[in-house]
Structure 1
Amino acid sequence: MVKVVIWSLFIIPWISLFFLNGKAIRRYMPVALFATVLNTILAQMAWSYNWWKFKETLFTWDKLAPLFTVYGVFLVGTIWIFYFTFRRFWIYIIVNLIIDLFYGMGLTKMLNKLEIRENGSFSPLQNLLAMTILALILYLYQIWQERIFEKEYVK
């Protein structure tokens, strides 16, 4: 049961990209990859400082930055969030807050109950603050990316 949940959290987001056009994927993949880098760093910090730990993952070697979250749900979720909200900053922030609250209050509790993940010293409020700061950084990054692409198309 646990492995089915973990694999589902990894595979279903990627399958969802079949419902998105290729232009949108190409447009938002750079910010999604940047989000992956930042989430990987955050996961490494969480491991070192005991903010949280994953007890079950897809493979034995991915406990530090679990593939199913960092390279599944978060990466693909970033593409979808930007697809629906980019250029509407307050909608972007509200959507991120709702999703981060769902993750921090709902999904993590489910993962803890299934003994996939365990809480450490990081509170849900600290998680929400970290994810909000990350969302702001990603938004600024995407604005920067858009300016680069505009300059490229003008040439």
Structure 2
Amino acid sequence: MLGFFRIGLILISWGTVLFLPKKSFFKYLPVTLFSSIIILTEYLLGAPRNWWKAKGGIKTIANNGLTFTFGPYFIGCLWIFRLTYGRFWLYTLLNLILNYLLAYPLNTFFEKINLYKLNKIKPIHIFLLSLGYAFANYGFQLILDKNQPTEQKLHQTQKRT
């Protein structure tokens, strides 16, 4: 049953990519990969520290981590940047809402269906960590944009050569 749930999360998440403009996908892919590495690192650090537990042990935790990271989290990050980037207040508001939903009602649901059980951390920690990641992601994207050559600079460089 949980295997179908995981597969469903991935298929539904990736199914929405069909509606994401190709340009947006590639523009926000680096920040999404950066963020996914951070989330996977959290899973690697959290499992041996007993932040959460799952029936089936480390294998189940790894499956859950990969499912959430490369399913809803990965695609959600792309969509959030596509819909809000450049409007920090909207980005912050949307992340506050989504991180709250993850930390409280969704976390409760995931615990009820025995996907995992929080052990040494609480929902408030999930909320605060997620919010911290969101701000780190926004800063990372700002750095990427600052170092990205504009079309005007590219055009001038091409004229010189």
Contact 2:47 2:61 in 1 (8 A): no
Q: How far has the Cα of 1:48 moved from its partner?
A: 2.3
Compute the RMSD of aligned alpha carbons. Answer: 2.2
TM-score by length of 2: 0.86
> In the alignment, what sits opposite 2:9?
9
State which drifts further: 63-72 or 124-133: 63-72
Amino acid at match of 1:38: I
Amino acid at match of 1:11: L
* Structure 1 residues 65 and 40: CA distance shift in structure 2, 3 A: farther
Q: Secondary structure at the match of 1:63?
A: helix
Structure 2, unmatched stretches of 5+, are 155-161
State which drifts further: 145-154 or 39-48: 145-154
Contact 1:56 1:63 in 2 (8 A): no
| Matches of 2:8 and 2:152, distance apart in 1 | 38
Contact 1:14 1:76 in 2 (8 A): yes
State which drifts further: 63-72 or 130-139: 63-72
Q: How far has the Cα of 1:151 moved from its partner?
A: 5.1
Superposition map of 1:3-152 within 5 A: 3-55=3-55, 60=59, 63=62, 66-150=65-149
Contact 2:40 2:66 in 1 (8 A): no
Greater Rg over alpha carbons, structure: 2
Amino acid at match of 2:22: G
Q: How far has the Cα of 1:152 moved from its partner?
A: 7.5
Amino acid at match of 1:126: H
TM-score by length of 1: 0.89
Contact 1:35 1:74 in 2 (8 A): no
* Structure 1 residues 56 and 10: CA distance shift in structure 2, 3 A: farther
* Structure 1 residues 18 and 54: CA distance shift in structure 2, 3 A: farther
| Matches of 1:109 and 1:36, distance apart in 2 | 23
Q: How far has the Cα of 1:39 moved from its partner?
A: 0.3
